[in-house]
Copies of this chain bind each other. A is one copy, B any other.
Amino acid sequence: MKLMKSNITMKDIANKLGVSSVTVSKALNDKEGVSDSLKVTIKKVAGEMGYRFNSAAKSIKDGLSYNIGVMIPQRFTGMNDSFYLRVYQEIAIHLDHYGYFGILNILSSEDEEQLNFPRVYSENKVDGIIILGQISKKYIETVQNMDLPKLFLDFYDEHAAIDSIVTDNFYGAYELTNYLIQSGHRDIAYVGNIYSTSSIQDRFLGYYKSLLEHGLAFEDRLLLNDRDERGYYIDIELPEKMPTAFVCNCDQVAYNLCEFLNASGYKVPEDCSVVGFDNDLYATLTSPPLTTVEVDIEQMARTAVKSIMDKVSNPNRRNGRVLVQGKIIYRDSVRTLEADQVKINNKHK
């Protein structure tokens, strides 16, 4: 079925002007081989005739679609405050600078389980694909089999030799924990299921490194679970002996924790300090607002787009694992403990 659109082609412009379509093509693309005056005329007439470039014709010639696929696993799509959608939005904006477009591809749980290639791939709709958000081990293999530049964003996999861009979760949590220790805290818990995602795990390790460096012992009671294997939040169980501070793997969990602490009669930061990660909406909804680490979405998107575009022009290009630094946002959810208060806390043992 042919659409009844009155599509103007280069040939139409050429006919009107009594030149060839080759000349029109050169003029419109600012290429060598047309006199300046003819070029001007052609552009003018093209505008008058409402000419629109047919990118499909170009695509078929050079084998490029001028689209980049952004794949987000379905399970990340339910949230109200969607971090990934905002990342996608920034990606779309940056792709525009390269003359590219972004095609959003929600990876259904079904396709992920059945290891189906995404349609953007099997229909050749994209020149590269950014996988935004952790996918299953099995599906990583499927992605590896795709003959296309690809990039993991916001997660990585040790075994897959696929370039990735992640927030420096490790360093961010390390700095944040250092800050708590400098503020006099010695008994610090970490909240998060460390087997759930690499982000949560790496943030834990940054926390752990800080403990190690300061000669503080880590105990199992200091690791508090926040979600089940499927990623659904569960009630947080406080340890018998209360820590003086909590490092939460994300702001939403920090928010949940604050609510729970308040309900249990603990005040933040008087009774215990809480820090988050992400600096999303939740960080400003607690009272007091949360000290947290801001993920630099714009920088992540910019880096991701640059990296994938590099790979499109040079498929052998490897960038490895690139870290994007976060930034601590200091607010009021951390209390500075006086030396004697630290002692009192220790006596409780």
**A residues touching B (Cβ–Cβ < 8 Å)?**
1-7, 50, 52-57, 59-60, 62-65, 67, 77, 80-82, 85-86, 88-89, 92-93, 96, 99, 101-106, 119-125, 127, 147, 280-281, 285, 313, 315
Chain B's closest residue to A99 (CB) is B119
Q: Which residues from B are CB-within-8-Å of A80?
A: 81, 86, 280-281
Q: Known contacts A56-B56, A60-B60; can you find 13 more A-B pairs with CB under 8 A?
A: A3-B63, A53-B122, A56-B60, A81-B281, A82-B82, A82-B85, A89-B104, A92-B106, A96-B119, A101-B103, A101-B120, A103-B103, A104-B104
Q: Which residues from B are CB-within-8-Å of A147?
A: 5-6, 50
User: What is the minimal beta-carbon distance from A32 to any residue of chain B, in angstroms?
Assistant: 17
Q: Evaluate whether A3 and B62 lie within 8 angstroms (CB atoms) in the complex, with A81-B281, A125-B55 already known.
A: yes
User: What is the minimal beta-carbon distance from A213 to any residue of chain B, in angstroms?
Assistant: 34
Contacting pair A124 B56 (CB below 8 A):
yes
Q: Which residues from B are CB-within-8-Å of A125?
A: 55, 101
Chain B's closest residue to A4 (CB) is B315
Complex-state Cα separation, A123 to B55, whole angstroms = 6
Contacting pair B77 A89 (CB below 8 A):
yes
Contacting pair A85 B81 (CB below 8 A):
no
Complex-state Cα separation, A57 to B61, whole angstroms = 9
4 A-B pairs with the lowest CB-CB distances in the bound complex, closest first: A56-B59, A85-B85, A80-B281, A55-B123
What would be 6 A-B contacts, judged by CB atoms less than 8 Å apart?
A3-B62, A52-B123, A54-B60, A77-B89, A82-B82, A101-B120
Complex-state Cα separation, A44 to B63, whole angstroms = 25
Q: Which residues from B are CB-within-8-Å of A96?
A: 106, 119
Contacting pair B101 A102 (CB below 8 A):
no
User: What is the minimal beta-carbon distance from A2 to any residue of chain B, in angstroms?
Assistant: 6
Contacting pair A92 B63 (CB below 8 A):
no
Q: Which residues from B are CB-within-8-Å of A88?
A: 85, 104
Q: Which residues from B are CB-within-8-Å of A120?
A: 101
User: What is the minimal beta-carbon distance from A181 to any residue of chain B, in angstroms?
Assistant: 30
Complex-state Cα separation, A252 to B64, whole angstroms = 43
Q: Which residues from B are CB-within-8-Å of A60?
A: 54, 56-57, 60
Complex-state Cα separation, A206 to B92, whole angstroms = 37
Complex-state Cα separation, A222 to B275, whole angstroms = 42
Complex-state Cα separation, A103 to B95, whole angstroms = 12
Contacting pair A106 B93 (CB below 8 A):
yes
Q: Which residues from B are CB-within-8-Å of A106?
A: 89, 92-93, 96
Chain B's closest residue to A316 (CB) is B4
Contacting pair B77 A85 (CB below 8 A):
no
Q: Evaluate whether A63 and B7 lie within 8 angstroms (CB atoms) in the complex, with A53-B124, A82-B85, A124-B54 already known.
A: yes
Complex-state Cα separation, A81 to B285, whole angstroms = 13
Complex-state Cα separation, A180 to B124, whole angstroms = 55
Complex-state Cα separation, A329 to B52, whole angstroms = 48
**B2, B127, B285, B315: which contacts A63 (Cβ < 8 A)?**
B2
User: What is the minimal beta-carbon distance from A292 to any residue of chain B, in angstroms?
Assistant: 13
User: What is the minimal beta-carbon distance from A103 to any residue of chain B, in angstroms?
Assistant: 5
Complex-state Cα separation, A67 to B77, whole angstroms = 21
Q: Evaluate whether A55 and B124 lie within 8 angstroms (CB atoms) in the complex, with A80-B81, A81-B81 already known.
A: yes
